[in-house]
Structures are given as C-alpha cells and as structure tokens.
Structure 1
Amino acid sequence: MIIAEKKAIPIERELSKYCIDIPSLGISFQSDGNTNLLRSMMMSRHSGIAIGCRGGGCGICRIRVLKGEFASQPMSRQRISLHEEAAGVVLACRITPLSAMVVEPMPLDPAKPSPYHKAIG
C-alpha cells in the first residue's frame, strides 16, 4: 500500500480558483487548488463526470485531461494503466487542479469491470 504524505499547500494555491471545462457537455465549474476535481464538480452541483466510490478504487470517474496542470494522488493500476495515465487519462477523484483545465469524461473499459456496475445482459 502506498501512503502519500500531505504537504503544506502554499497560500497562493489555496486562494486560487481554476475554471474546469467539459466542452462536450457544455459544463464549466470552478475548482480551488485544495479540492479534487470530482468533489469540486459535485460542490458546483454539476454531474458531467460519473461518481462512484470517490476514493480511486472503482474507476467510474475516468477522464482525459486535454489541457491544464494538476497534482495527482496514486491511482489503482487496475483502473488506470501507466500507458493511459501517460496519455492523460486519470481519475477525477485523484487529481487536484493547479491551473484551468479542459477535460472529457471517459467510459469505463469493459475489460476492467467496476464493482459498482452490474453487468447488463
């Protein structure tokens, strides 16, 4: 198990507000440098990114970052491979914006089923 240390956040980051855009859905919301992207979306009462466990285990909140910078916490390799992460695919619950961002929701990979979704068939 990897345990990440929580580091002090510079005050200028704490006070920053970043615009997060999801152009395919026509959604924009604000996020600070202290709150993960998924929680920021929920606090703004938007629903463009699917919500699951909120801890990085289910993979439901997969997004592709098209533009912007972020800090990242460890993600389950069962949900996000190193190749996907290198291509900008991350879990919204595990990243904190460090700038304005443009993101797109990504569907779950059917080969990596989530415990939060039942098979339909």
Structure 2
Amino acid sequence: MGESYQVTEQYSGQTFRCKAGQSVLKAMEQQGLKCVPVGCRGGGCGFCKVAVLSGDYACGKMSRVHVPPEVLAQGEVLACRIYPLTDLIIECRPQQPAARLTNEHTTTIVMR
C-alpha cells in the first residue's frame, strides 16, 4: 500500500488517513466524515474551507475570492485542493448557512 498521512481535526479529535496525492476532502468523504460542506470539489466554491494548524501540504489552484493571498498565508485553504506531505492538524471552518444560501438557491431559465 502507498504512503498515507494522518489528518486530525482539532476540535472533534476525529482522525483519518489520507493517501499521498489524495485531497483531504476526498479522504474525508471516502471515510464518511462530514467536517465541512461539499460543493464543486474543484476549488471554486469555497465551501470546504479548513485551517491547517500543523503540517506540510501541497496546494492546488483555488478561488482567490474564497482564499485570497492573505488568508492563504494564515493557513486557510480549501480541503478539496490540499494534498498532505506530512501528518496534518486541521480545523474545519465551514461557511455560515447565510453565506451558502445564494449558492444553494439558484434558478435556471430555459429559453424556447
């Protein structure tokens, strides 16, 4: 089996394994954990924001609207776009329900 890292959520104490090259969000989902809400899984929606309190990780592209450079410098990232390089300690920071409301209630207009 390939290398994996332990990820610990600071407040709940929940731990899970994340394979090398696998996103933290994907590892959470595969193990049935619901630390953060899930949106696009591609770094664009900002739903799966976490703070990395300890450990090293590689970071993929993510929306600067949801993770501007000053926030990224403080360790706030999107779980769908980080890949552990060592064991991690994270803190889940889901958006407040009111902030998600506009994304959850969209209308599709069909032109005929």
TM range (shorter): 0.7 to 0.9
Q: 1:25 aligns with which of 3, 12, 32?
A: 12
8 Å contact from structure 2 (residues 42, 62) kept in 1: no
**Deviation at 1:72?**
0.6
Partner Cα distance (2:70, 2:18) in 1:
27
Task: Determine the structure 1 residue equivalent to 2:108.
Answer: none
Partner Cα distance (2:36, 2:79) in 1:
8
**Deviation at 1:95?**
0.6
**Deviation at 1:116?**
2.9
- Secondary structure of the corresponding residue to residue 79 of structure 1: coil
Matched, 1:94 2:81: yes
Partner Cα distance (1:117, 1:105) in 2:
20
TM norm structure 1: 0.77
Partner Cα distance (2:68, 2:96) in 1:
11
Unaligned runs of 5+ in 2: 106-112
Percent of pairs with identical residues: 33
Partner Cα distance (1:77, 1:23) in 2:
25
- 2:16 partner letter: F
TM norm structure 2: 0.83
User: Does the C-alpha gap of structure 1 residues 107 and 47 become closer, same or farther in structure 2, counting only changes over 3 Å?
Assistant: closer
Partner Cα distance (1:32, 1:99) in 2:
11
Within-5 A mapping of 1:1-121: 15-108=2-95, 113-114=99-100, 116-118=103-105
* Structure showing greater Rg: 2
Unaligned runs of 5+ in 1: 1-13
RMSD: 2.1
Aligned residue pairs, count: 104
Q: Which runs of 4+ in 1 moved over 4 A?
A: none
Partner Cα distance (1:94, 1:82) in 2:
15
Which moved further from structure 2: 57-66 or 24-33? 24-33
